[in-house]
Amino acid sequence: MNAAGTRSRAIAKLRTVMDPELPMLNIVELGLLREVEVEEDGLHITLTPTYSGCPAIETIVAETRRVLADLGPVSLRIAHAPPWTTDWITEDARRKLRAAGIAPPAGRVAQPEAVRCPRCDATASEQVSAFGSTACKSLWRCANCDEPFELLKLI
């Protein structure tokens, strides 16, 4: 198979690697997968973790290796620079988050927007806690429908 074919097969496989803490999203749409290169000595994969201490990264690395096992040798690099940003989350992934009851990041880093309740879409929300169940989320409550929800922090 040629390099382009191997690359697209690898990416298709990587779309099956889900983030264990946001299981509705795969690592491609979450923006964790930064590079896929096909070299003579095998596949070179670069991943960028969301937060420095993200405990999900070990599982993601193991799962990445597992799904790519039949594509030959894989060298995997964890790159911290440039740092991960929620701007890398795709539109499709933002819809999936909302459908799962998690508010996607409000806008882009350079252009923040009002936080919207993932249930009733109202913008009248208040932050309950800047820190949530995982490093990437904060806790909010909707002033319109009264429901609590999690928000992916804009970062």
Partner 1 sequence: MSAGLLETVASQPAPAPAPEASGALETQRARFEWLLGLADDRLILGHRLSEWCGHAPILEEELALANIALDLIGQAQMLFELAAETEGAGRSADALAFLRDSRDFRNMLLVEQPNGDFAFTIVRQFLFDAWDLPQLEALCASRYKDLAGFAAKACKEARYHLRHSHGWLLRLGGGTQESNRRTQAALDELWRFTPELFLTPVLPSMSSTSDASEAHFQETVRAALSEADLTLPDAAPFPALRGRAGLHSEHLGHLLAEMQVLQRSYPGAKW
Q: Are 68 and 61 in contact (CB under 8 A)?
A: no
- From CA 66, how far away is CA 57, in angstroms rounded? 14
Q: Is 55 in the site for partner 1 (CB under 8 A)?
A: yes
Applying CB under 8 A, among 53, 91, 110, 126 the residue interacting with partner 1 is: 53
Task: Indicate which single residue of 4, 40, 52, 110 sits in contact with partner 1 (rule: CB under 8 A).
Answer: 52
Site for partner 1 in 84-123 (CB under 8 A): 84
Kindly state the tokens that stand for 6: 């191997």
Q: Work out the angle between the directed axes of helices 3-14 and 57-67 (0-180°, nearest 10).
A: 130
Nearer to partner 1, 73 or 83 (CB): 83
Question: How many angstroms separate the CA atoms of 71 and 122, rounded?
Answer: 47
Question: Whole-number minimum distance, CB 113 to partner 1, in Å?
Answer: 19
- Is-cis flag, bond preceding 82, omega within 30? yes
Tokens of 134: 């995982």
> Of residues 67, 139, 141, 147, which one binds partner 1 by CB under 8 A?
139
Q: How far is the CB of 107 from partner 1 (least distance, A)?
A: 16
Binding site for partner 1 (CB under 8 A): 51-55, 79-84, 128-135, 139, 153, 155
